[in-house]
Chain A
C-alpha cells in the first residue's frame, strides 16, 4: 500500500509539473474559448429546436382536427415513427445484449465467484442452523455474536454480510443468475427475456432518441392518425418482428457512439493508449458515453476532458462514490456545453485503500461532493484542499454508505 502511495505521490508530483504548464495553456485557452461556446451552441440549438417544435404543433393540430384519442394516436405515431429506426434499434439492442450485458454479467459472475467461498461457508452455516431446528431468535443472535467475535478480520465480516444477503434473497439471487444465464445465452432467444428487452427498448426509444424519433413522429402524424386503429396490432407485430430479427446481429450504433469514439480517440492520443479500461454507451442512462479510467490515469483523463479545446467538459454535474463490495467506484458526470454532450467518467478503486486524486483543482464544484464521498464512504481524495466529514461530523465512527457498515453503533 505504501508503495502504491509513493507511486501515486510521484505521479502526482509529475502531474503537478505538467499541471503548471497546462494551467498556463489553459488560461490562454480559456480566455479565448470562454465566450464562444454557449452563445453559439444556443443559437444552433434553438434553430434545431424550432423545427421539431413547429412540427409538433402541426401534429397537435392534426390531432385536434381528426378529433381522435390522443393516447392511441401518439402511440401509433410513435410506433410508426419507430418502425424505421426499429431495425436499427434492434440491432443496437443486441449489441447491447452482447457488449453491454455481458461484461456486467461477467463482473457479476466474477463477484459471485469471489464471494463464493465465504458464501459457501455461510450457507453451510445457515443450513446447519436451519436444520438445527426452530429456536430462531436466540440462536441467530448467538451465531451473530460468534460471528462478530470472529469478525475482527474484515474479510469475515464481509463474508457474513454477503452470506446474509445471499440467504435472505436467495430467490432473487437465483433469479439473477437465471437472468444472467439468459442474457449470456441471448442468442438462444430466451423468449421471456427477449420480450422484456423489447419492452425496454420501446420505452427507451422516446427517451434516448427524443429528437430523431419525435421529429419523425411529427412528420408522420397524419399517416399515424390513419394507422391509429392498428396500434394494438402494431405493438404485437413489433414484438414479433423483434423476435424474428433477434437472430441476425447487424451492428447499429447509438447516436452518441460517434461522440464516444471521438472522446475515446482524443483521450488515447493525448493521455496514452490504454488510459481507459473500458468505454461503452450506457443504454440505461439515456445513452450516456461512459469511460472507465484507471486509478492512475483518472486525473489526467479528467484534466484532459476539462481543458481540451474540442472536448471542453467545463461543467461537473455530479460526483459520487459507490461501494460495490468488490471495489469502490467513483462516478463523475461531466457536461460539455461546447459539444452539448454529457459523459460519465468512472474509476474503480481498491476497496481497502480507496485513494484517488481530487478533482477540485479542475472543478471547484467537486469540493463538497468529494467531502461527501469521503464522509459517507471513506474514499480519500488526496490534494483535496479541505477534506472533511462534511455531513456527519469528524467524530462519526464508520462510513455509513459502505455495505458492511454497522448502523447500530454504541456511539450513536
Chain B
C-alpha cells in the first residue's frame, strides 16, 4: 500500500529566501503546506529597552537598525514623535531635506524588494539591475548623511547638517534616470509570462482580512483600501505635493508587486516637486541641547515603505523616554503569513513570503 506521511520542514533561520533570520516551521504533505508556524526573535536587540536609558538623540542610531532598508523613515518617526510632543517647528529646508531623503529611501527600499523578490522567484538579473540603481541612491544618501544604510541623519528639530552643494542637482538628475530604468524593469519582468503565472492569484486575501490582520502599506493597498498616511494623515510637508496612492483590487502577490512599482513612480514625483520647491534657510530648529519631552504620552504614525510605522513615547519629562515603542509594520504584516500559507503549494511559499516584504530587523525589533 502506498503510504504518505506529513513532514516537518524547517525553513530558515538559515535559508536563502527568508531575508534574514526568519524561521518558518512548515508541515508539508508532499508539496502541499498543511500548517506553517513562523518563529521570530532571532534578531531581537531590545531596542525599546535600550532606549529607556538613552537620550532622545542617542536613540536615533538605533532606529536605523530596525528597518535597515529604509532607515530614513525610522529616523523620522522618532524625531516626529518627539517634535510632536515638544511642539517644535521644523525649518522648511529641513522638512524638504527630510522628505527627499525619505522618498529616496522608499525608492531604494522598493528596489531592494523588487530585486530580491525576483531573485526568490529564480531570476538572477533583475537583482543586479535593481542594485545598480539602488547603489546610486545609496551614494546620494551617503553624500547627504555620511553613511550608506545607517544614516543617523535626522535630529529633533531638523536634520544633522545641510546637503552638500550640488546634491539637490544630483537628485534632480537621478529622477529621470530612474524613470527610464523603471520602464526597463517593466519590460524585463512585468509582462514575463512565467513571472505572471507565478504571482498572479497567489496569496490572495480580501480587504476585510487585510484590515482584520492590521496589514499596512502596499499589503493593504493591494486590496483596494486607498490608505496612505502621507495622504490621509499628512505629516511633515506631504500635503504640498501632488501624488497618487496606487491601489489594486485583487489582493494577490501580483497586485502587491504593482502597488510597489507604482509607488516608486509616485515617490519620484514627490522628489521632483520637492527638488523644485527646495527652499533656503536653516536646517535645524532652535532646540535645547538636552532634549526633554514634556510629560505625557504620544503615538504618531507615518508611512514607511513597508507600511505604517509608529512611535509611542511615554515621557516623564526627563531626557530619556520612560517608554519607547515602535509599531513596526513588518511585525504586523507578517502575522497573516500562516493563514496565507495553509493549503498552498510549497513552491508558493517563497512567493507569498517575499510579497509581504519583511525586514527582519524590524520584525524582531
Do chains A and B make direct contact within the complex (CB under 8 angstroms)? yes
Instruction: Name A residues whose Cβ lies closer than 8 Å to a Cβ of B.
Output: 30, 34, 38, 42, 45, 49, 52-53, 56, 60, 69-71, 74, 100, 104, 108, 169, 172, 175-176, 179, 199-204, 206-207, 210, 214, 282-286, 288, 314-318, 320, 322-324, 331, 333, 337, 340, 344, 363-369, 372, 376, 390-393, 400-401, 407
Q: Beyond the given A203-B83, A324-B314, could you list 20 further A-B residue pairs with CB under 8 A, ordered by the A residue number?
A: A56-B240, A70-B281, A71-B282, A74-B92, A175-B317, A284-B297, A314-B211, A315-B211, A317-B214, A317-B301, A317-B308, A320-B312, A320-B327, A333-B310, A363-B214, A365-B214, A391-B44, A391-B364, A392-B41, A407-B49
A34 x B207 contact (CB < 8 A): yes
Q: Which residues of A are found within 8 Å of B300, using beta-carbon distances?
A: 285-286
A286 x B332 contact (CB < 8 A): no
Name which of B111-119, B224-232, B345-353 contacts chain A: B224-232
Q: Which of B226, B312, B319, B334 contacts A42 (CB 8 A)?
A: B226
| A-B contacts, 27 listed (Cβ < 8 Å) | A38-B224, A56-B240, A71-B279, A71-B280, A71-B281, A172-B319, A176-B295, A176-B318, A200-B86, A202-B89, A203-B83, A214-B239, A282-B298, A284-B84, A285-B84, A285-B300, A314-B211, A315-B211, A318-B327, A320-B327, A333-B301, A337-B211, A364-B335, A365-B213, A376-B48, A391-B40, A391-B364
**Least distance between A35 CB and chain B CB atoms (Å):** 8
B130 located at the interface, meaning its Cβ lies under 8 Å from any Cβ of chain A in the complex: no
B225 x A206 contact (CB < 8 A): no
Query: When A and B form their complex, what is the total count of cross-chain residue pairs whose Cβ atoms lie within 8 Å?
Result: 169
**Least distance between A27 CB and chain B CB atoms (Å):** 11
CA distance A220 to B336 in the complex (A): 48
CA distance A288 to B301 in the complex (A): 12
**Least distance between A100 CB and chain B CB atoms (Å):** 8
A391 x B214 contact (CB < 8 A): no
Known contacts A207-B84, A317-B214, A320-B325; A69/B298 CB under 8 A: no
**Least distance between B61 CB and chain A CB atoms (Å):** 20
Q: Which residues of B are found within 8 Å of A400, using beta-carbon distances?
A: 46, 49
CA distance A376 to B314 in the complex (A): 17
Q: Which of A172, A200, A324 contacts B87 (CB 8 A)?
A: A200
Instruction: Name B residues whose Cβ lies closer than 8 Å to a Cβ of A.
Output: 40-41, 44, 46, 48-49, 83-89, 91-93, 207-208, 211-215, 224-227, 231-232, 234-235, 239-240, 242, 277, 279-282, 294-301, 308, 310, 312, 314, 316-319, 322-323, 325, 327, 331-332, 334-336, 364-365
CA distance A154 to B239 in the complex (A): 52
Q: Which residues of B are found within 8 Å of A340, using beta-carbon distances?
A: 232
Nearest first, the 6 closest Cβ-Cβ pairs linking A and B are: A365-B214, A203-B87, A285-B298, A200-B87, A391-B41, A70-B279
B280 x A70 contact (CB < 8 A): yes
B214 x A344 contact (CB < 8 A): no
Residue of A nearest to B242 (CB): A53
A390 x B40 contact (CB < 8 A): yes
Q: Which of B91, B212, B227, B240 contacts A363 (CB 8 A)?
A: B212
Which of A108, A340, A368 has the largest number of chain B CB atoms within 10 A?
A368
B212 x A317 contact (CB < 8 A): no
Q: Which residues of A are found within 8 Å of B277, using beta-carbon distances?
A: 60
CA distance A364 to B271 in the complex (A): 36
Known contacts A49-B231, A179-B317, A284-B296; A318/B46 CB under 8 A: no
CA distance A363 to B215 in the complex (A): 11
Q: Which residues of B are found within 8 Å of A320, using beta-carbon distances?
A: 312, 325, 327
A69 x B86 contact (CB < 8 A): no
**Least distance between B334 CB and chain A CB atoms (Å):** 8
CA distance A201 to B319 in the complex (A): 20
**Least distance between A388 CB and chain B CB atoms (Å):** 10
CA distance A376 to B326 in the complex (A): 14
A317 x B44 contact (CB < 8 A): no
B214 x A199 contact (CB < 8 A): no
Known contacts A210-B239, A390-B40; A337/B227 CB under 8 A: yes
Q: Which of A49, A175, A315, A318 contacts B310 (CB 8 A)?
A: A318
Which of A42, A104, A400 has the largest number of chain B CB atoms within 10 A?
A42
Q: Which residues of A are found within 8 Å of B319, using beta-carbon distances?
A: 172
